[in-house]
């Protein structure tokens, strides 16, 4: 068996264990951009809750992979969570229309907790109005949108600006997952 560098096989990252993360879902999320970060964070010991407009609804990704919402957006309180993951695909164009999603993103931003966004997920951060002066990346297709929202856009695999972690597309998932986990590990220890 191959060992993961820096982590004993099966070991829990104690800086991340007991942390709770929201992963947003809606129809036509980019399958890898949802599931890769979710599993990466879970491998480190964090709890990840999938949240959609309707609790219990099965949302289907662009390539047919399902995701069942364990919670509705309305059930969530940002103070109960340590970060949020926003997948790409076409789901962000839907997610940005829910006032509760924007409220959660704004509150997590105000608390300086990690916000992970990849590909088209930047649309949600644009609608939350939290990108002015922030250095980010995204799919090049929404570069103009990001810059028009006041962001400083870079064509790099992963850009970390404080608590906002952004990536361009699926090939960037390994460094994106690591950067998000590093941001979680840097948070103060979870309360016992």
**pLDDT at residue 13, as a whole number:** 74
**pLDDT at residue 1, as a whole number:** 28
Class of the CATH domain delimited by 20-185:
alpha beta
**pLDDT at residue 15, as a whole number:** 82
**pLDDT at residue 26, as a whole number:** 98
**Tally of CB atoms within 10 A around 3:** 10
**pLDDT at residue 11, as a whole number:** 59
Task: State which residues of the chain have pLDDT below 70.
Answer: 1-12, 189-192
Tell me, yes or no, if 119 is annotated catalytic.
yes
C-alpha 111/C-alpha 17 separation (Å) is 19
pLDDT tens by residue, 96-124? 999 999 999 999 999 999 999 999 999 99
Tell me, yes or no, if 120 is annotated catalytic.
yes
**pLDDT at residue 12, as a whole number:** 65
Helix (H) or strand (E) segment spanning residue 114: none
Contact 166, 118 (CB under 8 A): yes
State the pTM of this model: 0.92
Contact 171, 188 (CB under 8 A): no
| CA 2 to each of CA 7, 8, 133, 145, 177: distance values in angstroms, whole numbers, following the listed order | 11, 10, 42, 42, 19
Residue in 49, 109, 119, 163 annotated catalytic: 119
């Amino acid at each position: 068996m191959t060992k993961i560098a820096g982590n004993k096989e099966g070991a829990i990252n104690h800086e991340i264990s007991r942390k709770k993360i929201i992963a947003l879902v809606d129809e036509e999320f980019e399958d890898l951009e949802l599931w890769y970060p979710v599993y990466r964070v879970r491998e480190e010991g964090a709890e990840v809750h999938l949240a959609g407009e309707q609790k219990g609804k099965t949302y289907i990704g662009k390539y047919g992979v399902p995701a069942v919402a364990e919670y509705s957006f309305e059930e969530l309180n940002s103070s109960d969570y340590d970060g949020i993951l926003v997948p790409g695909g076409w789901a962000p164009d839907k997610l940005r229309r829910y006032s509760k999603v924007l409220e959660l993103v704004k509150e997590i931003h105000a608390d300086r907790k990690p916000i992970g966004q990849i590909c088209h997920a930047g649309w949600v951060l644009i609608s939350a109005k939290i990108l002015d002066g922030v250095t980010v990346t995204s799919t090049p297709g929404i570069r103009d949108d990001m810059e028009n929202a006041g962001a400083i856009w870079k064509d790099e695999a992963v850009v970390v600006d404080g608590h906002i972690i952004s990536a361009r597309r699926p090939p960037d998932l390994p460094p994106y997952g690591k950067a998000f986990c590093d941001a979680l590990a840097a948070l103060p220890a979870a309360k016992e």
